[in-house]
Amino acid sequence: MTALRMRLPTWNDDFPIFLLLLLGVLASGSYCFEVIYAINAGGEAHTDSNGVHYARDPLMGKYIGTASDYGKQLIIGRISDIDQILYQTERYHHNTFGYDIPISQDGDYVMILKFCEVYFNSPNMKVFDVVLNGDHTVVTDLDIFERVGRGVAHDEYVSFKVLGGKLIYNDEESDILGGKIRVEFIKGYRDNPKINAIAVVKGVLDDVPQLGPIPPDPEDYQGMQEEEEETDLRSRHTSGPRTPDPYLIDESPVLLPVFVAIGAFIPLLFCLCKL
């Protein structure tokens, strides 16, 4: 009878698999957070560059405000190609409107409110507030164009805590009713409130991926370059002392012997004339 010989797996056998898993984790990013709510306002479902799945706008077909994809005419700045649609679609309303968000656990939360101005070309045209849970004004006088300009992504991050059926924001409390909190976009005197996308994650702000720096305006960038060039010219040092202007050199020491000779010759000429 022939005995079957089995070789147990060793570390060397498993190491390639472990390495692949590790590389997969690193490639997926270093952020670790639990998304409890995410919607693409005015648009369809979408998964962003961080793997966050945004559901179709729940207000579709409910005659609350207007869904718009006007922003598809623009290439939105400050974000990757895969995230464009989140800032190109939006919902706006000629009255105050909002979304109900289910909250079932105590803990720290961050709400990410995504905006992009795709219509106006100047500040003070669209200005509005954002209120959380009916009591907390979390964004005041939001003027998207004034913040970042036209066609540029802008996020507002709202950190809050849930504890014992209460929402706590900046040490102020409000009751959570029916296991839901509400975020509202308040109609003001300058055009209509709007929102492009919303996400709520369980965690703190450091856990949340944030937008990169605002790209400089082309005119501002040109002005910055000109200022840098002027500063560079003023700060340059010559390799030696400045060359004197030949026309400003004092020639009196050179002409002194001539004047002395003339002064001696005049009396001599006078004496010769008398002879």
CB atoms within 10 A of CB 202: 17
pLDDT digits (tens, 9 = 90+) for 111-129: 999 999 999 999 999 999 9
pLDDT for residue 215: 81
Q: Read off the pLDDT of residues 176-202 as tens digits, 9 standing for 90 and up.
A: 999 999 999 999 999 999 999 999 999
The more confident residue out of 2 and 222 is 222
The candidate with the shortest Cα–Cα distance to 149, out of 192, 190, 119, is 119
Query: Of 210, 171, 198, 170, whose CA–CA distance to 102 is shortest?
Result: 198
Listed by start position, the domains of the chain span 34-210
Give the Cα separation of 220 and 251 in Å (integer): 52
CA distance 150 to 194: 15
* pLDDT tens digits for range 65-102: 999 999 999 999 999 999 999 999 999 999 999 999 99
CB 207 within 8 A of CB 29: no
Four-way CATH pick for 34-210: 3.40.50.11540, 1.10.3720.10, 2.60.120.430, 2.60.40.10:
2.60.120.430
State residue 170's pLDDT score: 97
From edge to edge, which strands make up the β-sheet containing 53-56? 46-47, 53-56, 34-40, 197-202, 107-116, 153-163, 166-169, 172-175
